[in-house]
Amino acid sequence: MNEVLQSEFGQTLGSPGVHIIDPFTGTGTFITRLLQSGLIAPEEMEHKFRHEIHANEIVLLAYYIAAINIEAVYHGLQGGDYVPFEGICLTDTFQMYESDDLISHYMPDNSERRKRQKATDIRVIVGNPPYSAGQGSANDNNANVAYPTLDGRIRDTYAARSTATLKNSLYDSYIRAFRWASDRIGDAGVMAYVSNAGWLDGNAADGIRACLAEEFSDLYIFHLRGNARTSGEQRRKERGNVFGEGTRTPVAISILVKNPDATAHGRVHFHDIGDYLDQKEKLAIIRDFESVRGISSINGWVNVQPDAHNDWLGQRDSSFDAFIKIGDKRDRLAPVLFENYTSGLKTNRDTWCCNFQSSTVLTNMKATIDFYNSEVTRYQSAPKVDDIKDFVDKSPPKISWDHAQYVGVERGKYVTMKPASVVPSMYRPFARQWAYFDRDFNNRVYQIPSIFPDAKTSNRVIAMCGVGGKGFSVLMSSTMPDIQMMFNGQCFPLSLYGIEENEDSDDLFSEAQVHQGRQKRDAITDVGLKHFQDAYPGEIITKEDLFYYVYGLLHSEDYRAKYADNLSKELPRIPRVKTAADFWAFSRAGRTLGDLHVNYETVEPYPVTMKQGDLRLADIKNPEAFYRVTKWAFGKSGKDKDKTTVIYNANITMQDVPLGAYDYVVNGKPALEWVMERQVVKTDKDSGIENDANRYAIETMNNPAYPLELFQRVINVSLRTMEIVRGLPKLEVM
């Protein structure tokens, strides 16, 4: 900051009139380091300390510790009489600008400090903003605090400029900190944050990037990486986090400059710290660079030119725009391949609604619905309450609350348990379970009633990771998918049934028409079919051929590599390959892959070697006990991890598992590891509900060895998938 102040304004942090604030000071670390840094000259120190350094903290204990730390450091530097630090306020920085001081009567000195600070022309803002995406579930009753004025600014700027459908993440506390600081420094100043780096490439953050490039003249971004929410090779590249293992988000140092006299605006200077670095290595690099000038000295700043999508990193390939969209729910007049598509089932109470055992789903749902109905009755006879969330019993073993249930209690809406609503579901890749599929106790059913109207209806969907997923992948299913079967999945069906439901309805208790006598039709549009028929004159192409062409093409390693940045930010567009021969090659491959992935439970098991010997020769007196699995493990762990050996249970260890099978990655991890993760016994800590894969094996599949055989089958599925994928034609498009 000191360098930037000098180069942009001819001032330093010690210059008279340069007011500095840490709006989220915690225990005062930034301010104490500033006093110790030597950047403020001894003759400037007293005036700066008494009048031009400010800090805010909302947590009472941290506030007192910060004040003591700052005062002690100043006293150690200056000596003399002990001087209290009057620049610190006990306050919520955001709330200061929303309303008057509600505790001024009790803390008049603090109130006066707040008034002085609000009237001050702040030149420098520095800090480590809080990070808070919101509550995990409605039971938490821990939603982010609302700041109407600040959130209104976000709505009118960051959200208004974003093309994303879901924009809730824009109200995260650290994003609010960016919006607040940009407004607070007015037309001239410097803001410097150490923060979550998700805004640099997040899909919903395109509006943030657009606004920051317009509001600031120069933006220096030092990306420290460390994103623990990645997997595979990308996780190894991200590696250590500068804040240690307790932080899973990527981190960046951002120094943003507003200089009204600058000759240009929106100049983005970017430096990536590098791949495969641990925490100590990253901290050493930061220490050695020391400042913006340190990176400049090695010509380390890359000047980023934002593209038309307001992407800074991983900019999209513009040739992608020439291809037909796979679907579009915003522009209903745009030519698309699929008439409609949907997310998977979103229950918001998976512990209750989803289980390997159908009888457990029935028991759990009956119990929670009975409890819900008892709350409806209790509410009817209770005195009026201000907030229904404060009235209801949130005991985790009894219920998982959601918006619709709160509304239902208020409206006196009773719910009937429907045993027929327990249906098969594809919960995760290669992991079928039972699900309670009913509007009354699902958060959203989206368009699923038009695709899987009942358990007996035959259909197939191409499910793919939604925007921002852990690498693009697809998986075909003939069973109703969960929304996280593929990360925030979007599912494109072969067929549609009847009239689509209104997926934008306010809640599950709104009046929804039930459609009977559904008519089956193709989901591929006539426009989409003609688009491809025109490309290959003389070829007889059906909508089903095109459906499988899409599935084959979306497996193309060439396609995924070339358009990786596009696929991380938007739904696929489907190119027409140059020749009819290649079209048919992709279509045939897609059909073969589809059959393989849908029918994975009937694929021949791969003949692994059993450490204990051939199980066919074993005398197994109690198969259920012998094949019971609770947790899988590889032969070795850590750096010596041996994936050729998989320990199934105390009775069974598989050897010679082909490493090539792990090359088939779907929804962020190898298909085999999905089997190992899901075919276990888990107990939900809040509700105490058990989910036991062995019960599915015994009760649904009538085969206690099902989890073991499933692993062996998925080995063959994986090997065959990679063989087909690597045999696809080279991607050459029209």
Does one domain contain both 151 and 176? yes
In this structure, are residues 13 and 20 in contact, taking their beta carbons and an 8 Å threshold?
A: yes
Work out the pLDDT band at 636, boundaries 50, 70, 90.
confident
C-alpha–C-alpha distance, residues 76 and 36, integer Å: 10
- Residue 4 to residues 45, 182, 569, 617, Cα–Cα distance (Å): 20, 16, 33, 76
Concatenate the DSSP letters of all residues of 632-682 into one string.
-EESS-GGG--TT-EEEETTEEEE---GGGGG-EETTEEHHHHHHHHSSEE
Of the candidates 165, 221, 167, 170, the one whose C-alpha atom is nearest the C-alpha of residue 191 is: 221
Phi, psi (degrees; rounded to nearest 5) at 519: -105, 135
C-alpha–C-alpha distance, residues 673 and 665, integer Å: 9
C-alpha–C-alpha distance, residues 264 and 267, integer Å: 7
Does one domain contain both 146 and 104? no
How many distinct helices (H) and strands (E) make up the chain?
25, 27
Pairing of strands 267-272, 302-304: antiparallel
- State CA 696 to chain mean position distance: 30
C-alpha–C-alpha distance, residues 644 and 658, integer Å: 6
Residue 98 resides in a domain: yes
Statement: residue 142 has pLDDT above 60: no
Q: What is the pLDDT of residues 453-478, one digit of tens each?
A: 988 888 999 999 988 776 899 999 99
Q: What is the pLDDT of residues 8-17, one digit of tens each?
A: 999 999 999 9
Indicate the residue among 553, 577, 598 that finishes a domain: 598
Mean pLDDT of the chain: 92
Looking at residue 134, its pLDDT comes to 53
Measure the N-to-C terminal CA separation of the chain; round to a whole number of Å: 51
The number of distinct structural domains making up the chain is 5
Indicate the residue among 461, 488, 522 that finishes a domain: 522
C-alpha–C-alpha distance, residues 21 and 53, integer Å: 6
C-alpha–C-alpha distance, residues 709 and 607, integer Å: 10
Provide the 3-class DSSP secondary structure of residue 472: coil
Give strand pairing partners of 520: 497
Residue 134 resides in a domain: no
Does one domain contain both 358 and 501? yes
Does one domain contain both 625 and 586? no
Q: What is the pLDDT of residues 270-310, one digit of tens each?
A: 999 999 999 999 999 999 999 999 999 999 999 999 999 99
Statement: residue 504 has pLDDT above 50: no
Residue 345 resides in a domain: no
Work out the pLDDT band at 99, boundaries 50, 70, 90.
confident
State the Rg of the chain over Cα.
29
Residue 734 resides in a domain: no
- Residue 79 to residues 72, 86, 304, Cα–Cα distance (Å): 10, 18, 48
Largest CA-CA distance found in the chain, in angstroms, rounded: 95
Work out the pLDDT band at 507, boundaries 50, 70, 90.
very low
Residue 646 resides in a domain: yes
Provide the 3-class DSSP secondary structure of residue 733: strand
Beta strands in 31-177 (DSSP E): 53-57, 88-90, 122-127
Q: Which structural domain range is residue 562 located in?
A: 322-338+525-598
**Which long-range contacts (C-beta less than 8 Å, at least 24 apart) are formed by 572-575?**
572/326, 572/464, 572/472, 573/320, 573/321, 573/323, 573/324, 573/325, 573/326, 574/323, 574/324, 574/325, 574/326, 574/337, 574/550, 575/322, 575/323, 575/731, 575/733, 575/734
Q: Which residues contact 205 (CB under 8 A, 6 or more apart)?
A: 158, 162, 169, 170, 175, 198, 199
Does one domain contain both 476 and 555? no
What single-letter amino acid sits at 14?
A: G
C-alpha–C-alpha distance, residues 445 and 435, integer Å: 12
Q: What's the CATH number where 242 sits?
A: 3.40.50
Does one domain contain both 516 and 652? no
